[in-house]
Amino acid sequence: MDISAAAFDQARFAMTSTSNLPTANTGKTSAGTTLKPAQVKKAAEDFEAFFIAQFVETMMNGIKTDGPFGGGNAEGIYRSMMAQEYGKSIAASGGLGIADSVQKAMIQMQENAQ
């Protein structure tokens, strides 16, 4: 999957600006506390939603727009927003199972750090 530079920057910003995600070295948050199960589940679901949104956005890139309201810069913005909402919706309804794997890995990482 080809991820655009803007999507990569968005993911990097989300990871670096969120203090409730565990750090790579310790498995604890930047405040030094372990995450609650609900926080781990939310972080895993947010990751899956972003991942799915990237697939949806890639699929939408192949759809041609025509007609009186087709095309333009605004459409690109709204398509991106719609892809993000589709990703959130799909992840919230069970998704692809990525969130479960991420959640297990995050819990294991916290257990190993203790």
What pLDDT shows up at residue 1? 41
**Domain ranges in the chain?**
35-62+70-114
**Rounded to an integer, what distance in angstroms lies between the CA atom of residue 114 and that of residue 27?**
8
Could you list the pLDDT tens digit for every one of the 114 residues in the chain? 444 555 545 544 444 444 444 455 444 554 456 788 888 889 999 999 999 999 999 988 878 777 666 777 788 788 889 999 999 999 989 888 889 889 899 888 888 887
What pLDDT shows up at residue 111? 86
Give this prediction's pTM. Answer: 0.62
What pLDDT shows up at residue 88? 93
Is the Cβ–Cβ distance between 34 and 110 less than 8 Å? yes
Distances in whole angstroms, Cα of residue 114 to Cα of each of 34, 93, 105? 9, 32, 15
Q: Which residues are CB-contacts of 88 (< 8 A; sequence separation ≥ 6)?
A: 49, 53
Distances in whole angstroms, Cα of residue 91 to Cα of each of 38, 42, 44, 45, 103? 15, 11, 10, 6, 13
